[in-house]
Structure 1
Amino acid sequence: MNYAAVIVLHRSREELARLLPTIAPAQLVVVDVGPDDGGAQLAAQHGATVIERRDNPGFGAANNLALDHVTQAITVLLNPDTLDAHGQLPTLARRAHLPGLHAPRLLNEDGSVQRSAHPLPGTFGAFLPAAFPVLPRAIAHRAEPYRAHTPRTVGWAVAACLAARTATLKRLGPFDPSIHLFAEDMDLCLRAREQHLPTVLHPDLQITHTGGHSIATEPFELLARQRRDVIARTRGRRARALDDAAQLLTFATRAVAKTPFNARERAQLGALLGLLLRGGS
């Protein structure tokens, strides 16, 4: 199945060197937005169309720029810190001929499942996992769709690996260039939903995603602010208020349940509380 792979680099040569042997797209477009670490040269050696933007216009804007060069009917947006160890991207690309955005299940390197697919934010269903830790399977898969075992529509999915018709992505943007970093994927999926384009998780297709931040460096407050802005813009203030409450309850419940291994949840809870106490800014 022919498809184009679009990859944005930022000091990502090492990750790209691991990824490239696991994929074989018909077209490869790479945008390097970071300092030159050899990533652009490596991509060129693998036949990529390479665009260097050392001014770093942002993740979303870089992807948009890459889409202008894509000629294949299907595009897979890929993070450099992913691996297609089992050669499943062609199947994902084939399924992406159907309308919508299509995401595989993301796995950590140890094989555990990442929380990469989420319910629609700003709904009462988002309260369920926090209020009721043990749920019937059907309800649990709706509230925490990353746990699903069969393809299903989700509210939004992490864009570490996301496939769609190229024309669909171009029509959507795909990303809002004003969002420099974080929440671009939520914004994309919610805007797609407004155009009656679903985001579909394919849990039988599994891609390894090695990326992550240490708790010391993860920008929890910026993440919270971007999330709130996106939800307010795409779903309205009422949805944002519901999501705030659901997030607070979720973080608080996890912080208590995982004691003493709760540093991340405490940091997330503190960041959102601080933001709300300052009026959301």
Structure 2
Amino acid sequence: MPGSSRKTSMNVSVVIVTYNSQDCIAACVASVLTQTGVTFEIIVVDNASADGTLARLKTLDVKTIASPENLGFGRGCNLGFAQATGRYVYLLNPDAYLVGNSSLADLCQAMDDHSAWGMAGTMVCDADGKIESEPQVQYPGQRHVSRDFSKLPGRIAWVIGASMFVRSDIYRELGGFDPDFFLYGEETDFCLRLRELGYEIGYVPEVTLRHIGGASSHGVDPYVVSVRKQKGILNFRRKHYAPEDVDYLTRRDLNRARFRALANSLLGLLQPAHSRAWEKSRRYRGIWETSRAFLSRTDRTP
């Protein structure tokens, strides 16, 4: 493996989880293979892709783990981590690529310089170079809940899962991602649990990731995507917020989504040229119906 050596300890295990990623995985892997100054390995977990992802992976210099089922992002990362040997694990989206060849070395140096950090995020930009995501200082809906987060270490609450650089011993201490999360919300839960263990989350803006985005949801019905996202949000709230706060936030989601779903449906009927109105309507309907189903269950499971 380029950048790695059997005679030295492994610095970084890069774990990538793919699902129907044949069009983007080669560029992602190529950006890792150019890295210098560190030893690394690349582990790709394929979540039962139905396209040519597995065939493409056979042409790349990576270790491939083929899952017989779609495990989702978090469980896929856990499967890859089980094979990792690096003292750091870098979780990287397949629809993204690193800019520059010192990214991994810079991340290692930043973590070595900040012993209080359990993990770090990077600059994440879109395909045009515009900032897509920055570290968040609050959890979803935090200002509406009774829980006090002020005693948690560090200022950063969570970073996007497309680019997460974690100390392997801390990943192991956390038990990895919670398998109850399928595709959305898992990184927020992971970051909160890491801080609850007493570690800070760092940020290394010198390292830039270009995130094309949407590889796992390309061509998927917007209703299905929004249902998955809302289930992740509800799962996070149920796990970390008081029941009365969960109910309040979910009812607020339901009412807002219902209004927007109906408004966009009406717009689509009155002005057919607004083709995205129907797409938006289905997206909001997914939030509306998922929230309604959640509130109807006495055990409050998404």
CA distance in 1, matches of 2:282, 2:131: 22
Partner of 2:90: 76
Partner of 2:73: 59
Counterpart selection for 2:119 from 101, 116, 126: 101
CA distance in 2, matches of 1:262, 1:116: 27
Aligned length: 254
CA distance in 2, matches of 1:240, 1:94: 40
On the 8 A contact 1:107/1:113 being kept in 2, the answer is yes
Residues 192-233 of structure 1: CA distance to partner in whole angstroms, max 9, x if unpaired? 122122333333322011012569733213311221121221
User: Could you tell me how far 1:277 is from its partner in structure 2?
Assistant: 4.1
Instruction: Provide closer, same or farther for how the CA distance between residues 261 and 241 of structure 1 changes in structure 2, counting only shifts above 3 A.
Output: farther
Partner SS for 1:174? coil
Counterpart selection for 1:203 from 202, 205, 216: 205
What amino acid maps onto 2:196 in structure 1? E
Instruction: Provide closer, same or farther for how the CA distance between residues 265 and 251 of structure 1 changes in structure 2, counting only shifts above 3 A.
Output: farther
User: Could you tell me how far 1:269 is from its partner in structure 2?
Assistant: 5.1
Partner of 1:179: 181
CA distance in 2, matches of 1:236, 1:62: 29
CA distance in 2, matches of 1:192, 1:105: 20
Partner of 1:137: none
Does 2:231 match 1:217? Answer: no
Does 2:204 match 1:190? Answer: no
Partner SS for 1:206? strand
CA distance in 2, matches of 1:14, 1:261: 27
Counterpart selection for 1:227 from 201, 226, 233: 233
User: Could you tell me how far 1:162 is from its partner in structure 2?
Assistant: 0.4
CA distance in 2, matches of 1:214, 1:10: 10
RMSD: 3.5
User: Could you tell me how far 1:238 is from its partner in structure 2?
Assistant: 4.6
CA distance in 2, matches of 1:229, 1:220: 14
Partner of 1:167: 169
Identity %: 22
Partner SS for 2:180? coil
What amino acid maps onto 1:91 in structure 2? D
User: Could you tell me how far 1:241 is from its partner in structure 2?
Assistant: 4.8
Q: Which deviates more, 177-186 or 89-98?
A: 89-98
On the 8 A contact 2:257/2:285 being kept in 1, the answer is no
What amino acid maps onto 1:54 in structure 2? P
Does 2:22 match 1:16? Answer: no
CA distance in 1, matches of 2:247, 2:157: 17
